[in-house]
Chain A
Amino acid sequence: MTDTFRVKTPGVLTTIQDLGRTGYGQYGIPVSGAMDRFSLRIANLLVGNPPEAAGLEITLYGLKLEILRSVRVAITGADMGPVVDGSPLPMWQTVVLPAGSTLVFKQIRRGARAYLAVEGGIDAPCCLGSRSIHQKALLGRPIGKGDILRTASVSMQTGSRRLPESYIPEFPKELCIRVIMGPQDDYFTREGIDTFLSEPYTITPDSDRQGYRLKGPIITHRSGADIISDAILPGSVQVPGNGQPIIMMVDAQTTGGYTKIACVIGPDIDLLAQLLPGRKVRFQKVSVQQAHEILRQREACVEAITHSLIPCESVFPATPFQP
């Protein structure tokens, strides 16, 4: 392992994430991992890492990293106007950051979370099958000022590549999120279900990696909003007694006692991950079969991407600096 980055400022929230720890629900361990798994997978692909390698999830803006050794990286996800020593850095492609330079994520322009993958992956303790940070579950902490981030020193087998533009997600400001109804949709009135499936809901500032609290027209229950504690998954839409839905996200607790009206399908959690508070979502009902078909299309898309990356120049800045 080699020292690769020094954190000059950690920004709003920067955490090490991979594809999470699946299979520990029965032990009360949240899944965690990248909120937008598609973007992390593509970033890893661009630097020749396996999909489950750990990278950085950068929220909003403000991360500043000193580059300690020349290293190949790829930045995907939200556009935060990344610059290296003042020059804009292209996203969705392999780039080489020179030793001694400084990488800054200045401001959020589109989306909410950016991903930085480094060849070899970011080193962090692997606990219960993952390097993902979940501070409340005592699984690490967000990165802080002065931290040194280490990576395996590997040299890439493949050349530098970029993602064809047509595959770059758009991250719209309003989204229609697809859901499978249930498992407790029978606890709601017909009007409650209609409201949920027709009205827009705004993401409130009280939203994080654990859950998004939404605000909008009240979803009415038949009788109570409470059930005896039941399993929760990322995507579960809980509706407590106040009739305002909460979408559980990747850091969600594994059990909870509110009625779940629906569950967001996996690929759409990635889209939700890129929405800031203040943005609106609507919910659209799909069948289990449709959800599986959407997932198959998503996986086929990732597979197609692996075969359609375009070789590119990776030296950065592209034109050498002339004094």
Chain B
Amino acid sequence: MAGELAERKIAGVLNLVPTYRSLLIEYDPIALPISRLETLVDEIEENLTEKSPPPGRYFELPTYYGPPYDFDTQRIADHNGLTTEDVVRIFSETTLLVYMIGFLAALPYIGGLPDCLHTPRLSSPRLKLPSGVVGLGGQQVAFAPVELPSGFNYIGRCFQKIYDPGRFPPTPFAPGDRLRFVSVSQPEAQAHQGEFPKPLG
């Protein structure tokens, strides 16, 4: 629906925000009366074929899982009856899915975490974490585009730049993209510092 609406470039449609549960359509009711917008949306909905969304791209993100960024690896291991090595191995071998982009500074909302890693969020959030840290909370994965406060369990850091307001779009990711946080050494992860990730396919 969002794709169709964007493609038609309808005068008066200002902003489209697709999320897990809804599509927000921001419109100028003076340029585009709501009755006309409703008719358009109904019409698009009727003609929406069950075509599957575009397959999305695949990214491998070089990630360092050691200290000082393994803040909560032990906690995740303890919660799930695993060793810390298991946690890193399972997490780094899992292909995750970008569901949407939101919050501030193009934060990707990532899912696809195996059940054996699901871990409740911290009871008290950390006030400041560096950009690029990777963690998990419940069944979601966090990948911080900028310095953030967060209650997720953090296990590593990728030094690539995933938010650049000087670019358009400012994020390398889009809903439907697949990601893998590949485990590498600290020097190798840091060698990619500041790079804007490129899809492999």
B1 at the interface (CB under 8 A from A): no
Q: Which of chain A's residues have a CB closer than 8 A to the CB of B166?
A: 127
Interface locus among B43-51, B75-83, B105-113, B184-192: B105-113
A128 at the interface (CB under 8 A from B): yes
B120 CB → nearest A CB, Å? 14
User: Is the CB–CB distance between A29 and B14 below 8 Å?
Assistant: no
* A-B contact list, 28 entries, CB within 8 Å: A22-B14, A23-B15, A25-B17, A26-B16, A26-B18, A27-B170, A27-B171, A28-B105, A28-B106, A28-B107, A28-B171, A30-B104, A128-B165, A137-B104, A138-B146, A138-B163, A229-B20, A230-B20, A230-B24, A231-B19, A231-B22, A231-B24, A231-B102, A253-B104, A254-B17, A255-B109, A292-B29, A299-B30
A183 at the interface (CB under 8 A from B): yes
Interface of A is mostly: mixed
User: Is the CB–CB distance between A231 and B17 below 8 Å?
Assistant: yes
Proximity string of chain A (95-116) to chain B, C-beta cutoff 8 Å, 1 when within and 0 when not: 0000000000000000000000
A273 at the interface (CB under 8 A from B): no
Q: Which residues of A are at the interface with B, using a C-beta cutoff of 8 A?
A: 22-30, 127-128, 134, 136-139, 183, 227-231, 233, 253-256, 288, 291-292, 295-296, 299
- Given contacts A28-B145, A254-B102, A255-B102, could you give 17 more A-B pairs where the C-beta distance is less than 8 Å? A26-B17, A26-B18, A29-B170, A136-B104, A228-B20, A229-B102, A230-B24, A231-B19, A233-B26, A255-B100, A256-B103, A288-B34, A291-B29, A292-B30, A292-B34, A295-B29, A299-B30
Q: Which of chain A's residues have a CB closer than 8 A to the CB of B116?
A: none
B2 at the interface (CB under 8 A from A): yes
| CB nearest to A288 among chain B residues | B34
| CB nearest to B20 among chain A residues | A228
Contact among B22, B34, B169 for A27, CB-based, below 8 A: B169
Interface of B is mostly: loop
Proximity string of chain B (163-182) to chain A, C-beta cutoff 8 Å, 1 when within and 0 when not: 10110111100000000000
Chain B residues numbered 133-177 whose CB sits less than 8 Å from any CB in chain A:
145-146, 163, 165-166, 168-171
Contact among B20, B22, B102 for A183, CB-based, below 8 A: B22
Q: Which residues of B are at the interface with A, using a C-beta cutoff of 8 A?
A: 2, 14-22, 24, 26, 29-30, 34, 100-107, 109, 145-146, 163, 165-166, 168-171
Contact among B17, B26, B146, B169 for A255, CB-based, below 8 A: B17
Q: Which of chain A's residues have a CB closer than 8 A to the CB of B165?
A: 29, 127-128, 137-139
A168 CB → nearest B CB, Å? 24
| CB nearest to B131 among chain A residues | A138
| CB nearest to B26 among chain A residues | A233
| CB nearest to A140 among chain B residues | B165
A22 CB → nearest B CB, Å? 5
User: Is the CB–CB distance between B26 and A22 below 8 Å?
Assistant: yes
User: Is the CB–CB distance between B21 and A28 below 8 Å?
Assistant: no
B129 CB → nearest A CB, Å? 14
